[in-house]
Structure 1
Amino acid sequence: MTQGIFWFRRDLRLADHPALERAIQSHDALLLVYVDDDADGIFDASRAWLRRSLGKLAEDIRARGGELHLIAGDPEALIPALALATGAAAVHISALHEPDADARDARIAAALAASGIAMRRAGGRLLTDADAVLTQSSTPFRVFTPFHKTARPTWRHRPREAPATLSGCALPSSLEGARTTIAAPRPRWDSGFWGMWAPGEAAALARLDDLLPRLHAYPDARDVPSVEGTSRLSPHLHFGEINPSRIFDVVQQHGGIGADKYIAEIGWREFAYYVLHHWPSSLNDNFNPKFDAMPWHHDPGQLEAWQYGRTGVPLVDAGMRQLWHEGWMHNRVRMVVASWLTKHMGIDWRQGAAWFMHALVDADLASNTLGWQWVAGTGVDAAPYFRIFNPATQSRRFDPQGAYLRRWLPELRGLGDDAIHAPWERGLRVPGYPVKPIVDLSAGRDAALARLAALAK
């Protein structure tokens, strides 16, 4: 009888799971574990999601006769110890495709190999082989469109049903002291999340089903923050509750212009990981080194006003309050609030990216970094720095009746449909809301362009 270990990470599902399928086929008995590691890069809002997602996964495993063991500690110590204590022939994982995680996995694999134990790594989080999709000169793509045209024909989906049964291996007695639970946050600041979200594999599949009847409207509706125009699959993808190949396959079969547009958004997620793979330093460094000399503005008070939706700019404040209440923000609004922080306020994109990682339930390292560098103008295939979103214009264009603003800014509900986008333009004073923006829109734009001009000298 051969014993194996399956180490769940951000692949919290049973269907369409190449690594789990391989593990089941390779062993008679399989110990199923999740290691709660403080250094794993799972931030506050994401941990609230993780707690519920693991609960759903444990239920699904239990229904099949297995048991998911949650243990806490350093995986570099715990995984080799588990393998030795159980006599496992191999440890199976899904690749995470993040620099620090991949380096850690390599160290664990080396430690296991020293004891004659294999580490088996499979895909399942991405559609693209980053080392195989290259330009004609065998260099990595730096622009999304040619990357997507080259990568998309390589994407494949082979449906894999969830296993009917799973073996229920016990945790070795020597590791019982590592057993843990993931506690709910105190105070329960996440309480607003759960009217909107339902973590878990079943909920992810339901989200995908819900998207299909709306795909025809997706190209336009996805930009309107007051309607359910996006898929909201991002946190499910982040935690691996659904395989992106299933989404691609189902949406492609559905067809239509909306399908092509949505698949392009899947492509942006792939591109984010592709960039991270080929340029791992872009996590913390400007992709374009010209911006290393950018004189970013450091003002903790202004940063806090942005974080908590107190800038005096309605669309920015609505987005930041949605983020705090739901752990998520509409993508169009994400671009606006990021542009406001980096351009009008002149604050380093890395500070904005760090706040998003703290507050988002879909705090995806690759996508978050690419998005912030794109808006800031510092990244690969980025919007030019001189492209500066006017939040009042964006608000009037994509939320003309102010429905999104009224939902998240109750103090402004009494204003008219035009005045609500920029109350200061009419000299309106609203109790409990800033009299004017923390940065004047025209002055902030001029200052941003002046900073750019200074870099060119």
Structure 2
Amino acid sequence: MTQGLFWFRRDLRLADHPALARACQSHDRLLLVYVDDDADGPFDASRAWLRLSLGKLGDDIRARGGELHLLAGDPEILIPALAVAAGATEVHISALHEPKAAARDARIAATLAGRAIAMRRAGGRLLTDAESVLTQSATPFRVFTPFHKAARPTWRHRPREAPTALACSPLPSSLEGARTTLDAPRPRWDKGFWATWTPGEAAAHARLDDLLPRLHAYPDARDVPSVEGTSRLSPHLHFGEIHPSRIFDVVQRQGGIGADKYIAELGWREFAYYVLHHWPASLHDNFNPKFDAMPWRDDPAGLEAWQRGLTGVPLVDAGMRQLWHEGWMHNRVRMVVASWLTKHMGIDWRQGAAWFMHTLVDADLASNTLGWQWVAGTGVDAAPYFRIFNPVTQSRRFDPQGAYLRRWLPELRGLGDDAIHAPWERGLRVPGYPVKPIVDLGAGRDAALARLAALAK
């Protein structure tokens, strides 16, 4: 009888799971574990999602006769100890495609090898092989469109059904002390999330099913924050509750302009990880080094007003309040709030990226970094720095009746459809809401362009 150890990470599903399928084929019994290596860290929005997602995965495993063991500790210590105590010949994982995780996996693999235990890693979160999708000169792509044209033909869906039964091993008694639970936050600030979201593999597939009848309208509807025009699959993808190849296959088979546009959005997720793979320093450094001299403003009070949705700019404030209540923000609005912070307010994109990582249920390291650097103009294939979103213009264009604003800014609900986008233009004073923006739109734009001009000197 062969014994294996399967270490779940952000691959919290049973179907379309290459690493799990290989583990099941290779061993008679498996020890299934999840290691919580951030038990003492801040309880952010994505951790609130993780708690429920692990619960759903545990239920799915128990329904198949198995057991998922939730442990707390340092994986570099726990995983080798578990493998030895369980008598495992192999440890199976899915790649995380993040620099620190890859380095840690290499160290764990070396420790295991010293004990004659193999680590077997499979791809589990991406469609693209970052080392094989290169330019004709064998260098990484720096621009999305040629990357997407080269990468998309390599994407394949290899369906793998969820195992009907799982023969699992009990946790070795010597590791009982590592057992843990993920408790709900106190106070329960995450309650608003669950009116919108249902974590887990079944819910991820239901989201995909819900998208298909709306796919034809996706190219236009995706920009309207007041309607259900996006897929809302991002947190399910982040936690690996559904494989991107499943989404790609289903959407591609439906076809049409909407399918092409949605697949391009999958491509941007792939591109984010591709950039992270080839340029890992972009997590914390400007991809374009000329912006290292950018004189970002230190404005703690302004940053807090932005975080709380009290900038006096309705679309920005609505987005930030949606983020706090739902753990998610509409993509069009994400671009607007990021532009406002980095351009009008002149605050370093890294501060905005850190807040998003704390408050998003889909807090994806690669996509978050790429998105912030794109808006800030500092990144690979970025929008030019001088492209500055006017939040009032954006609001009137994509939320003309103010439906999105009224949902998230109750103090403005009594204003007319035009006045609600910029109350200060009409001299309106609304109790409980800033009288005017904390940064004048025109002055903020001029200051941003002046900072850019200074870099060129």
Alignment-derived partner of residue 322 in structure 2: 322
Alignment-derived partner of residue 109 in structure 1: 109
Query: Which whole-Å CA distance do the structure 1 matches of 2:168 and 2:289 have between them?
Result: 52
Alignment-derived partner of residue 254 in structure 2: 254
Alignment-derived partner of residue 144 in structure 1: 144
Alignment-derived partner of residue 338 in structure 2: 338
Q: Secondary structure at the match of 1:30?
A: strand
CA deviations on 1:156-189 (whole Å, 9 max, x unpaired) are: 0011100000013100000000000000000000
Alignment-derived partner of residue 78 in structure 1: 78
Q: Secondary structure at the match of 1:112?
A: helix
The answer to whether structure 1 residue 196 and structure 2 residue 189 are counterparts is no
Q: Secondary structure at the match of 1:286?
A: coil
Tell me if structure 2 keeps the 8 A contact 1:3–1:89.
yes
Tell me if structure 2 keeps the 8 A contact 1:51–1:184.
yes
Alignment-derived partner of residue 240 in structure 2: 240
Runs of 4+ aligned residues of structure 1 deviating over 4 Å after TM superposition are 39-43
Q: Secondary structure at the match of 1:59?
A: helix
* Alignment coverage as a number of residue pairs: 457
TM-align CA RMSD: 0.9
Shift of residue 43, structure 1, vs aligned partner: 6.0
Query: Which whole-Å CA distance do the structure 1 matches of 2:445 and 2:426 have between them?
Result: 21
Structure 1 residues 72 and 183 mapped into 2: Cα distance closer, same or farther (>3 Å)?
A: same
CA deviations on 1:343-372 (whole Å, 9 max, x unpaired) are: 000000000000000000000000000000
Tell me if structure 1 keeps the 8 A contact 2:193–2:325.
yes
Alignment-derived partner of residue 450 in structure 2: 450
Tell me if structure 2 keeps the 8 A contact 1:43–1:357.
no
Query: Which whole-Å CA distance do the structure 2 matches of 1:362 and 1:390 have between them?
Result: 26
Query: Which whole-Å CA distance do the structure 2 matches of 1:157 and 1:240 have between them?
Result: 15
Structure 2, unmatched stretches of 5+, are none
Shift of residue 42, structure 1, vs aligned partner: 8.7
Query: Which whole-Å CA distance do the structure 2 matches of 1:209 and 1:258 have between them?
Result: 15
CA deviations on 1:312-332 (whole Å, 9 max, x unpaired) are: 000000000000000000000
- AA in 2 matched with 1:164: T
- AA in 1 matched with 2:234: S
Query: Which whole-Å CA distance do the structure 1 matches of 2:143 and 2:404 have between them?
Result: 33
Shift of residue 37, structure 1, vs aligned partner: 0.5
Query: Which whole-Å CA distance do the structure 2 matches of 1:405 and 1:27 have between them?
Result: 55
The answer to whether structure 1 residue 212 and structure 2 residue 221 are counterparts is no
Tell me if structure 2 keeps the 8 A contact 1:34–1:69.
yes
Alignment of 1:405-420 (within 5 A): 405-420=405-420
Alignment-derived partner of residue 180 in structure 1: 180
Alignment-derived partner of residue 404 in structure 1: 404
Q: Secondary structure at the match of 1:92?
A: strand
CA deviations on 1:2-27 (whole Å, 9 max, x unpaired) are: 10000000000000000000000000
Shift of residue 40, structure 1, vs aligned partner: 11
Alignment-derived partner of residue 24 in structure 1: 24
Query: Which whole-Å CA distance do the structure 1 matches of 2:275 and 2:167 have between them?
Result: 39
Tell me if structure 2 keeps the 8 A contact 1:223–1:229.
yes
Shift of residue 124, structure 1, vs aligned partner: 1.7
Alignment-derived partner of residue 361 in structure 2: 361
Tell me if structure 2 keeps the 8 A contact 1:43–1:363.
no
Tell me if structure 1 keeps the 8 A contact 2:39–2:72.
no
Identity of aligned residues (%): 89
